[in-house]
Structure 1
Amino acid sequence: MQYIYHMVPKSMYGETLIPLNKMQDHNKTLYTLHSRKYFDHPDRAKLLGRRIPHLNCLWNDVVFFLPMHPNYLYEALKKAGMDIPDNIRFFRIPITALSKNQSVIYTYNAKDYQGPTAEIRPEEVEFLKLDHYQELTELPEDTLNYFKEQDSKERRFGLFHFVPHVMSHGMVDVSKAEVIEWSERTPDIL
């Protein structure tokens, strides 16, 4: 079985992950809580208007997933000297949970990245074929370099920068998901 991963929200009601735009209709308080991360930097707020090629929707119309076990991130951050908590929890979700949605994988790199205000180029996005999906088993070199650079700056930074993003247009049921901590190594990645 192949999986995708999503950080367990601090405030979550029910067993469904909801895109930010839909959250506005379901629960204004949750929307305010989850949208404020986009307003901690002047350019991040512009992500909310960013279009996703092929899905013809906005950045905040999708749910984002990590296409690899989060322990790879945890280990890379520790190796880069970051002071991070051990107990960040993630949903480990069967890829089949995306079967009712259109989903894409967004892959970008440091050489071509022009910041959060730039348009996503169509060639950086491809439709996700669930029957061909394979979890990634290593972080991109650009992500590792980014972590090393950020450690010296002592400020907030993106945990998932240059890591491919699975973006699913619609709500996602997590009732069959397992909850794991990113510091836990599992037998499949030892």
Structure 2
Amino acid sequence: MQEFIYHMVPADMRGDKLISLNSLETAHPELYEKYSKKYFDHPERVKLLRRQIPKLNCLWNDVIHFSPLHPYHVYNALTELGIQIKEELKFYRVPIQNLKNNKNAIYMYSKETYRGPNNDIDEDDINFININDYKEMKEIPSVTVEYYKDEKEKGNKFGLFAFIPHLLTYGEVDIKDAEIITWNNL
């Protein structure tokens, strides 16, 4: 059975390969400027631009970040909580085999070990994966739903993929055969 990973479709996509933010700086400086702005909206987030990823031995923005969870599960959790969101956010549904030439790891992103964006990632939270053994997540972690509830009650902006493991890939990802889906449909 084919397994997939998910990546939000950039508003301004060029070409048929996803590349890391740091690669974008050289390939398309104007897009790098546009997409790196999100790291300057909070004093701690800017430190992510220099954050090291253990085991992969690279920076946070040297890799492409994917979700192993179909985005519908995030959409559904948010709407059930009455959180206002965009209805038809688009994602690439990428066959896991498209990562076969890359170095790939899962960042566990657990609430227990996460210490904020300006702290190091615990080495035990990064695990290399064999894409032939990869399986999609089938449900959103309960800790993520609790996070949404707490942040909504506080009136805070929050990350959509908090405490959902991230699949990190070091290298380009061909998306010619990726399907574009909307997160409000499973």
Fold shared, TM-score > 0.5 on shorter chain: yes
Partner of 2:41: 40
- In the alignment, structure 1 segments of 5+ residues that lack a partner are 186-190
Are the counterparts in 1 of residues 114 and 121 from structure 2 also a CA contact under 8 Å? no
Normalised to the residue count of structure 2, the TM-score between the two structures is: 0.97
Partner of 1:12: 13
Q: How does 1:130-145 map to 2 (within 5 A)?
A: 130-145=131-146
Partner of 1:152: 153
2:87 partner letter? D
Partner of 1:55: 56
Q: Deviations over 1:31-64 (max 9, x none)?
A: 0011000100000010111111111000010000
CA RMSD of aligned residues (A): 0.9
Distance 2:38 2:77 in 1: 23
- In the alignment, structure 2 segments of 5+ residues that lack a partner are none
* SS in structure 1 at match of 2:154: coil
1:135 partner letter? E
Q: Percent identity among equivalent residues?
A: 44
2:151 partner letter? Q
* SS in structure 2 at match of 1:156: coil
Distance 1:173 1:95 in 2: 11
Give the total of aligned pairs: 185
Q: Deviations over 1:75-105 (max 9, x none)?
A: 0111122111111000000000101100100
Partner of 2:185: 184
Normalised to the residue count of structure 1, the TM-score between the two structures is: 0.95
1:138 partner letter? E
Distance 2:92 2:153 in 1: 30
